[in-house]
Structure 1
Amino acid sequence: MDKLTAVTLIMLTAFIAQALTNYWRRRPAATAEINSLKEENQALKQRIAALEALVNELKRELGRL
């Protein structure tokens, strides 16, 4: 193996190691963000359900008039 190939392999290995390190460091943060978005989504679904119930109740009351 000549010197250029060895240097290239070392640089490629270092690049891959750095990319994997960055990926694993950010992974918990991404998971926390996903959980936060899931909670927000659930809260919004509950609010929509409450608004739908209110609208349906108003429709019934208007229908009685």
Structure 2
Amino acid sequence: MGTFIANLALVAPAITAFFEGVLVMDEDAAVRENRLALLQGVAGLAKGVADLAQLEGF
């Protein structure tokens, strides 16, 4: 768990930049689906380590 948290801290700036600079819910359905799939993949990295569903708004 400690390694996961440490690595998450390293990518936090990139995740923040993504949400500040990218409209996930784009009008173009293909773009929107691609971005949502990307986010699901990132969320899946925590599987077995942390339950991200416990986070507010997740």
Which structure has greater helix proportion? Answer: 1
Task: Specify the TM-score bucket, using the shorter chain as the normaliser.
Answer: 0.3 to 0.5
If asked which structure has higher relative contact order (CA below 8 Å, sep 6+), I would say: 2
Q: Normalising to structure 1: TM-score of the pair?
A: 0.33
Q: Normalising to structure 2: TM-score of the pair?
A: 0.36
Pick the structure with greater CA Rg. Answer: 1
